[in-house]
Chains A and B, each alone.
Chain A
């Protein structure tokens, strides 16, 4: 163990030594590259990490594609639209009901989440082009369902043969008289799902946001980057409603085309997942004057802190009082309910490798439970998600990101409406209420290890050396981790549980983590006879 460490390390090896060990098994070139993605949190909290660059071919990665980020993450959850995937069948098939973004139909009854639409490209389309078939598919969808809007998503082969889904969208819009819009989110774009988030934000902003000028009554916010996995958005809504705040629209869990169309009239945008939706927040602010704040509804303290920020933003004594009362009551209740679980979980170690924001958000919830985060990392985040938005001016756009369009957004001449004056804006920014995000690393314990785009090999090394009591991950790693006898919690699909957001969610989570970590089944991995001295054979032949 590293003698110079200023803190007694109870768990695992010295981080610097661990980093060296991890890359030792790589070819030199790979090792050099990966070293920049594996960073122990330094005592001053100032760390630089490489992120949002290509995954090295041949490395077993968690990452998916641009299409997954666009259709799978941001657009797919909008439940009252038909989303047609232009490509061979698989791309569409795998995003069919697999992500647990829940929604309920609104009054008009339009609801397509349990459907999967695809042009199911065949060889002739690859050879002769697929736009004709795509148009026919859109017409058929229109004829059968009469949806209010249709989105089209390009996959790798569709893009490669030159099919232009954006143009087809425009043409079909004119022909059918409903919004039809294409996303050129071919899987090979960018380096991960992240590029697709950006493309989805652009498309939603261009085609949906601002379509309907129906201002809300009272305090109304949008939840940005909240995908309603396991019903999270509904728990957030419950809490906000108790405070006297309504949710005008959610991007995009329990999402509705009509609600997103009027989202620009909200008083405030609350960002849950910074990675997937920060573009939207900035564009809405520039064009319509809607300020944004970074919240986190994962964790008891984190939820309260987010509510505090909202109170500070609105600066209405009556609202603040209501928020205070809600916090008092809900915190007390949740605190009582998690206490028994906390008793069994406190002090246990956890590592989280997931997504582009959850690896940060859930650290707050683990703090509530008294658990210690020893390692964390994102699958497709950028440096600002690790180091905070202060790093943004220093980020260079590389070859893989340069083709992802940056929309030029201007003030809307008629509809721009500043929600707060300049003085207040400056004050709230200085207080860290609005327009800031500090990232994950500054909030982590020094000596914890941060691993970006973790590979299978690195995960196994981490298991071997740190033996965490719990690892949070996604479906592809889950059973690897558990085969090592280590409980794993999936933070994409919640192992089919949830909600985990808000106060009630925190209690659910505490129970589910207790179930994973302290479940009786783990005790049977080693058979009883391996735990005892060797028995004498009752019928054994004499030696």
Chain B
């Protein structure tokens, strides 16, 4: 496995090897699925859309519906306006969505198709039926990553739907980040338990974790409704969970309606969850309910009970910036040493945040944005780690170097559970502790000689 990777690192300026990111539209498509009765539409050649649907399907094991403008060479030369008009006509006729969420691809971006004016013309021509919506996000993949695409589509929701309709409503907005349906569900539960009325957008719970009933619902029952999105303009504040995926949406609401935007880390792990809960307390003015405190206590109990398995273990973490930042903090709080921390998404902010988290605990950690798994692997080859945390693509490195591996983030193509069981909040923290502990203890069981194998751990 990965046998061609040399130990010595050669400085690369041009060649990306084994990326730790993918392209914007897949994030935009995912976000759009979090709107009720929305059909995501990929404006470009059909290949991109096919890849994005396939990959999301591999991750969620669920139907991923999206249409495409199916550019041909002619469209690439003359622009894709005619394709988009034709597509919208067909989409509303055949699939009857309430919302079409158009995202661009590298091709239509490079051509420079002006989506708003194409959509406006389509509306003027009566192609878009009364009461139906077409929103759009620009998602060129030569900028940012799939996380940027998610952020751009989330922002489009706020930008194109939010209205101020009459005084501040007694609700907050929560942009949950590029997280699983299970995480969105858990965030909603936490907010509910704490007595806060919230619009969580996008919301893919009850969309991408749909039950098997013997009937495929083209538009499953979940997703944030258009009415809720409209009402975000009246909310008292916005919580953007994870700056990379969520801040843009909160920002636009602040710009348009002066709604305060609180940017928080993704509530993964004890510290980040505490800060999220505190922020919610700032809204409600009350302490969390006892049951939630009990959850917290159980998480801390797991941490204190098992310190000996974590202490001093060297860990490598990679994936999407918001995920990795919170995970790094959590590993540190478990007593581990996150020595290599990598994201494929570009951005200084990531490096600053991670270095801040590790300043005391692991001052010489290698931290890098806009990096890739080839580089991470080379570091590991030079000086190994005891644990690898990241998406499915880490499994090759884990196998090559025989490292205990915890799957976390996007995409997870080879295991199930992420769609159903959250990683956010105190309960999510417990799940993560169980997972991490599991692989570390399995390794100890595997490697201990017979005479010292432990019955009790």
Residues in chain A within 8 A of chain B (CB atoms): 25-27, 30, 54-68, 84, 87-94, 96, 98, 105, 109-112, 114-123, 125-126, 133-141, 143-145, 155-157, 159-161, 186-192, 399-400, 403, 456-457, 460, 474-476, 478-480, 482-485, 525-526
Contacts and interface: CB of A to CB of B under 8 A. Distances in A.
A88 B106 contact: yes
A192 to B, nearest CB: 8
B142 interface: yes
A91 B217 CA distance: 30
Contacts of B95: 60, 457
B91 A156 contact: no
B79 to A, nearest CB: 11
Contacts of B107: 156-157, 160, 187-188
Interface of B: 1-4, 6, 10, 12-19, 21-26, 41, 44-48, 50-55, 57-58, 61-76, 83-84, 86-91, 93-95, 105-107, 109-111, 140-143, 145, 210, 212-218, 344, 374, 393, 396
Contacts of B6: 144
B90 A59 contact: yes
Contacts of B396: 114
A155 B210 CA distance: 35
A120 to B, nearest CB: 4
Given A59-B90, A144-B10, A157-B107, A94 B16 contact: no
Contact of A188 (B52, B71, B213, B214): B71
B90 A30 contact: yes
9 contacts: A27-B93, A60-B65, A68-B47, A98-B58, A112-B4, A119-B16, A160-B107, A474-B54, A485-B214
Contact of B15 (A117, A161, A189, A460): A117
A333 to B, nearest CB: 33
Nearest to A63: B46
Given A63-B46, A114-B1, A122-B143, A400 B215 contact: no
A479 B15 contact: no
A400 B141 contact: no
Nearest to B51: A94
A399 B73 CA distance: 9
Nearest to A195: B73
Given A117-B16, A191-B72, A94 B213 contact: no
Given A66-B47, A94-B22, A526-B214, A157 B106 contact: yes
A476 B64 contact: yes
Nearest to B217: A483
Contact of B10 (A56, A87, A143): A143
A96 to B, nearest CB: 8
B94 A457 contact: yes
A54 B73 contact: no
A116 B75 CA distance: 29
A500 to B, nearest CB: 20
B68 A57 contact: yes
A83 to B, nearest CB: 12
Identify the interface centre among B54, B57, B143, B217: most chain A CB within 10 Å of its CB: B54
Nearest to B85: A57
Contacts of A98: 54-55, 58
B50 A65 contact: yes
A115 B6 CA distance: 13
B41 to A, nearest CB: 8
B18 A133 contact: no
Contacts of A479: 57, 61-63
Contacts of A156: 44-45, 47-48, 71, 76, 105-107, 110
Contacts of B66: 60
Contacts, number: 261
A531 to B, nearest CB: 13
Contacts of A141: 15
B48 A187 contact: yes
Contacts of B68: 55, 57-58, 61
A58 B22 contact: no
Given A25-B94, A122-B143, A157-B107, A187 B45 contact: yes
Task: Please name the 3 residue pairs, one residue from A and one from B, whose CB atoms are nearest each other, closest first.
Answer: A65-B47, A90-B23, A58-B87
A133 B110 contact: no
A57 B86 contact: yes
A476 B19 contact: no
A122 B145 CA distance: 11
B78 to A, nearest CB: 12
B17 A117 contact: yes
B42 to A, nearest CB: 11
Contacts of B19: 89, 92-93, 116, 118, 120
A120 B16 contact: yes
Given A188-B45, A457-B95, 20 more contacts: A27-B90, A55-B68, A55-B70, A56-B90, A63-B50, A65-B50, A88-B106, A91-B47, A92-B19, A96-B18, A105-B3, A110-B4, A116-B17, A119-B16, A135-B14, A138-B15, A144-B10, A400-B72, A479-B63, A480-B216
Given A475-B58, A476-B54, A479-B57, A90 B26 contact: yes
Nearest to B60: A479
A527 to B, nearest CB: 10
Contacts of B65: 60, 456
B73 A137 contact: no
B403 to A, nearest CB: 16
Contact of A57 (B25, B51, B83, B393): B83
A485 B211 CA distance: 11
Contacts of A58: 41, 67-70, 86-91, 94
A403 B73 contact: yes
Contact of A59 (B44, B58, B63, B94): B94
Contact of B13 (A87, A96, A140, A476): A140
A485 B213 CA distance: 7
Contacts of B44: 156
A403 B74 CA distance: 11
A125 to B, nearest CB: 7
Contact of A90 (B13, B25, B53, B84): B25
B141 A90 contact: yes
Contacts of A119: 14-16
A123 B210 CA distance: 38
A59 B45 contact: no
A277 B365 CA distance: 50
A90 B54 CA distance: 13
Contacts of B47: 64-68, 91, 156, 187
A54 B214 CA distance: 33
A312 B71 CA distance: 46
A75 B69 CA distance: 27
Contacts of A68: 47, 50-51
A87 B22 CA distance: 12
A67 B68 CA distance: 16
B342 to A, nearest CB: 15
Contacts of B64: 476
A84 B15 CA distance: 9
B212 A525 contact: yes
Identify the interface centre among A119, A121, A139: most chain B CB within 10 Å of its CB: A121
A61 B54 contact: no
B89 A89 contact: no
Contacts of B141: 88-90
A189 to B, nearest CB: 6
Contacts of B142: 88, 121-123, 125-126, 157
A187 B1 CA distance: 30
Nearest to A95: B51
Contacts of B48: 65, 90-91, 156, 187
A186 B15 CA distance: 20
Nearest to B212: A525
Nearest to A109: B3
A30 to B, nearest CB: 6
Given A116-B18, A120-B19, A479-B62, A57 B93 contact: no
A72 B10 CA distance: 28
Contacts of A57: 68-70, 83-84, 86-87, 90
